[in-house]
């Protein structure tokens, strides 16, 4: 399961010279929480709702709304963006991407190959992938086996299902710490 099979391909991005105000408006209009920053077809940063909030004046400020808007219209994304962006290859496994997100406590990875951004994978994409892999919402029934984790046990279960002339659409294997395995089969 490669990242490229589950990533979002239509990427909305901005340039480093975009104003913070415009970036915030674009995120709000598009329903996004973060935007890759691209310059000369290269990823140079990432701007998020959090980086924009940090760049915005405090609510306790003595600035008027006009002064705050002026400030946000003058501040460039390049002054507030995250520069050290964690990325992933489109050929990386979905598990590797998930690990990177968890390890770095982030919810997006720009997908970069040959220094070009051609997608992003987000935590939502990973959730969607999990549902697809598990066959959630598809017709059929799910049968759950809890058995010893031994060589050939999955083959035996598959043989029993095939003998009944049934088709398997999805399988999920979950090893347990007690030496058993949970095998869920959707037929």
pLDDT at 1: 87
Region of 61 (left: φ > 0; alpha: ψ -120 to 50; beta: rest) is beta
Whether the Cβ atoms of residue 30 and residue 13 lie closer than 8 Å to each other = no
Domains and CATH numbers, the chain: 3-132 (3.10.580.10), 137-186 (3.30.70.260)
> Which pLDDT tens digit goes with each residue over 80-125?
999 999 999 999 999 999 999 999 999 999 999 887 899 999 999 9
pLDDT at 176: 92
> Which pLDDT tens digit goes with each residue over 145-183?
999 999 999 999 999 999 999 999 999 999 999 999 999
Whether the Cβ atoms of residue 80 and residue 72 lie closer than 8 Å to each other = no
Beta strand pairing call for 142-148 and 108-113? unpaired
97-103 long-range Cβ contacts below 8 angstroms, 24+ apart: 97/3, 97/121, 97/126, 98/126, 101/126
> Which pLDDT tens digit goes with each residue over 9-36?
999 999 999 998 899 899 999 999 999 9
Q: Is the pLDDT of residue 60 over 50?
A: no
């Amino acid at each position: 399961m490669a990242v490229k099979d589950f990533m979002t391909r239509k990427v909305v991005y901005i340039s480093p010279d975009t104003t913070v105000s415009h970036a915030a408006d674009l995120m709000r209009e598009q329903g996004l929480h973060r935007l890759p920053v691209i310059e000369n077809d290269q990823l140079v940063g990432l701007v998020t709702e959090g980086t924009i909030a940090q760049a915005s004046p405090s609510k306790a400020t003595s600035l008027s709304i006009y002064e705050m808007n002026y400030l946000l219209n003058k501040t460039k994304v390049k002054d507030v963006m995250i520069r050290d962006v964690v990325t992933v290859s489109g050929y990386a496994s979905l598990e590797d991407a998930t690990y990177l997100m968890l390890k770095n406590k982030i919810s997006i990875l720009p997908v970069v190959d040959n220094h070009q951004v051609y997608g992003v994978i987000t935590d939502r994409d990973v959730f969607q992938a999990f549902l697809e892999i598990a066959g959630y919402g598809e017709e059929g029934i799910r049968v759950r086996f809890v058995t010893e984790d031994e060589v050939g046990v999955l083959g035996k279960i598959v043989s029993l299902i095939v003998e009944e002339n049934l088709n398997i659409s999805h399988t999920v294997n979950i090893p347990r710490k007690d030496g058993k395995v949970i095998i869920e089969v959707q037929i």
